[in-house]
A and B are shown apart, each in its own frame.
Chain A
Amino acid sequence: MNAAVAYWPLLGVLWVVLGFALRLNPALVVVSAGLVTGIVAGKSLLAVLELFGEAFTRQRYLALVLLTLPVIGLLERHGLKEHAQAFITGLRGATVGRLLIAYLALRQIAAALGLTSLGGHPQTVRPLLAPMAEGAAEIIGELTDEQRQRLRAMCAGTDNVGLFFGEDIFIAFGAVLLMQGFFADQGITLEPLHIAIWGIPTALCAFCIHSLRILRFEQRLLRESIIATTTMPPSATPSP
């Protein structure tokens, strides 16, 4: 309700939204938005560049997940994906739905116990979960390229949902400490345990909603493969 609030910096937000909507290259959109925002907020170009460089240096660690790639690259050259697919096809009763729901549950529980590093896109999704899901799906029938793409995206989404809606239940997790610290600054004392406990209802909802979506996804794959095998030519497959 402060009349002195400056709205100019919102131009940067608009810039980002437009840039992503127009599908310009994200790296350029982000950097130019940073420069624009800083300049309309009344900073000099050099000051904005300094701010950028400082944050870039501080957040370098975000790129360290790339260190997992030599292991994955080498193992994939020696048949990791092929073996993951053969392994899951050999398990009795393995289906895409069961695999992904089991992964979701394990990821949520592990994250809730503070074991957030026990999974992740380069660590488990690319080398293990995605090939296993593809192997399990191919028990029903060969996947089309489009189905394979959707299945992989679902694997990545399942890892994210499991992580996000598990980690907040762990009391020593950064988010819980951030909330406690914020309220402490405002003179309100909160117990980390109370914050963590109120993460549980949402975590249960997340598990139910995402599991239902996995099952529906599996049903759709099944339906598509039945249509593909009963109708000729296969290109006549209707898409809902």
Chain B
Amino acid sequence: MITLQWIYWLAGGYFSWISWRGLRDTRNPRRFTTALFWGLLALAFLIGERLPALWMGVLAVALAAIAGFGGLRSGCYEQSGIEEKRAEATRLGSRLFWPALLIPLVTMVLAVVLKDLEFAGMRLLGAEQPTIVALGVACAVAVAAACWLTRQSLGSAVEQSRRLLDAIGWAALLPLLLAALGSVFAASGVGTAVADLVTRAIPVDNRLAVVLAYALGMAGFTMIMGNAFAAFPVMTAGIGLPLLVTLHGADAASMAAIGMLSGYCGTLMTPMAANFNIVPAALLELRDPNAVIRAQIGTALPLLACNVALMYFIIFR
């Protein structure tokens, strides 16, 4: 019943509204390009699946060009002073937490408990990406609750989010562009070339060398692709399966699990995993876009060493 398409329309409507408000913000020095950016993104959500792939590709390049050449700027937003915020915080108290907590709670209830619920043969949530659909519904519920709690209109909520959106700017687009880059990499044979280079460089008879190559290869290739899921089939087909499982008789289940988690150590260290590392830095208003990565390297490197050790001692049992 509620499908991913509905949430795309919701997002399209939201970005259209943001675009319209941005266009009327005369204090933004780049209001036309800012409005164009959000307008094109709205278009991608409203009719993206009906446009030819070539047009969508051009649209993606246009979005990147606007963001890359400084077309996104902040304007002027209705803001409240610190005194007013303190007064509101005292007046509303812990009730302020509820709408914020509703987002994860409603998402969880819908995506985990009510996922397969059916009404008259129709599923409540569409089969495609039920968690994302649940998140969209949860946002709608939570925004209604927040408006009710603060006695504000939906327009005011959108206006307040415009401040955050314009501050995040190009970082919001980066995860989509990186996902697109990942598929170009995959279609162009980048993975096979990397796996081939690694296998040429190591002594394949040495167990430790192969374990190191697989674990570090997973981490390194994940850093290139920004995604351990993309690295796993390449590294496992290139190194894990032929060398560890077939040649050295390793246990496939534990090798795969620890190999994937070695890839996750790479995710912690790369700007290519923009939605985990770059978007949060923008969201938390950090000056250094790599600040989150810097905070994570100290965990990722020792953990990667643990993974190598665990793999060496576990998979050859």
Q: Assess the B176–A5 pair: CB atoms within 8 A.
A: no
Q: Assess the B103–A54 pair: CB atoms within 8 A.
A: no
Q: Assess the A77–B160 pair: CB atoms within 8 A.
A: yes
Q: Assess the B196–A2 pair: CB atoms within 8 A.
A: yes
Q: Assess the B135–A53 pair: CB atoms within 8 A.
A: no
B268 partner residues in chain A, CB cutoff 8 A: 157, 160-161, 164
Q: Assess the B54–A64 pair: CB atoms within 8 A.
A: no
Stretch at the interface among A116-124, A136-144, A222-230, A232-240: A116-124
B44 partner residues in chain A, CB cutoff 8 A: 56-57, 60
Q: Assess the B132–A61 pair: CB atoms within 8 A.
A: yes
Q: Assess the A74–B108 pair: CB atoms within 8 A.
A: no
Residue of A nearest to B54 (CB): A50
CB of B76 within 8 Å of the partner chain? no
Q: Assess the B261–A73 pair: CB atoms within 8 A.
A: no
Residue of A nearest to B291 (CB): A153
Stretch at the interface among B22-30, B117-125, B205-213, B301-309: B301-309
Q: Assess the B283–A126 pair: CB atoms within 8 A.
A: yes
Q: Assess the A178–B88 pair: CB atoms within 8 A.
A: no
A69 partner residues in chain B, CB cutoff 8 A: 161, 164-165
Per DSSP, chain A at the interface is: helix
Q: Assess the B161–A70 pair: CB atoms within 8 A.
A: yes
Number of residue pairs across A and B with beta carbons under 8 Å? 442
Q: Assess the A179–B96 pair: CB atoms within 8 A.
A: no
**Set B69, B104, B170, B233: member contacting A118, Cβ < 8 A:** B104
Interface residue tally on B, bucketed by range: 35 or more
Residue of A nearest to B256 (CB): A179
B264 CB to nearest chain A CB (Å): 4
A172 CB to nearest chain B CB (Å): 10
Most buried by B among A61, A87, A116: A61
**Set A2, A53, A54, A183: member contacting B252, Cβ < 8 A:** A183
Q: Mark B172-202, 1 if CB is under 8 A from A, else 0.
A: 1111111111111101111011101101100
B194 partner residues in chain A, CB cutoff 8 A: 10, 13
Q: With A149-B286, A175-B228 in contact, do A27 and B177 touch (Cβ < 8 Å)?
A: yes
Q: Mark A198-209, 1 if CB is under 8 A from B, else 0.
A: 110110011001
**Chain A: interface residue total (CB-CB under 8 A):** 119
A75 partner residues in chain B, CB cutoff 8 A: 96, 99-100, 146, 150
Q: With A52-B180, A61-B129, A125-B280 in contact, do A198 and B257 touch (Cβ < 8 Å)?
A: yes
Q: Mark B270-294, 1 if CB is under 8 A from A, else 0.
A: 0110111111110111111001101
CB of A99 within 8 Å of the partner chain? no
Q: Assess the B299–A178 pair: CB atoms within 8 A.
A: no
A115 partner residues in chain B, CB cutoff 8 A: 108, 112
CB of B89 within 8 Å of the partner chain? yes
Q: Assess the B280–A121 pair: CB atoms within 8 A.
A: yes
B175 CB to nearest chain A CB (Å): 4
Q: Assess the A156–B92 pair: CB atoms within 8 A.
A: no
- CA–CA, A204 and B157, complex, Å: 41
B217 CB to nearest chain A CB (Å): 14
**Set A20, A119, A121, A176: member contacting B279, Cβ < 8 A:** A121
Most buried by B among A12, A80, A128: A80
A188 partner residues in chain B, CB cutoff 8 A: 245, 252
A123 partner residues in chain B, CB cutoff 8 A: 100, 103-104
- Besides A66-B14, A182-B232, 15 more A-B contacts (Cβ < 8 Å) are A2-B196, A26-B170, A30-B177, A31-B64, A59-B179, A60-B45, A73-B157, A74-B146, A81-B85, A117-B135, A157-B268, A160-B267, A164-B261, A168-B264, A209-B303
Q: With A27-B67, A34-B180, A49-B57 in contact, do A156 and B280 touch (Cβ < 8 Å)?
A: yes
CB of A147 within 8 Å of the partner chain? no
Q: Assess the A43–B188 pair: CB atoms within 8 A.
A: yes
Q: Mark B88-128, 1 if CB is under 8 A from A, else 0.
A: 11101110110110011101100110000000000000000
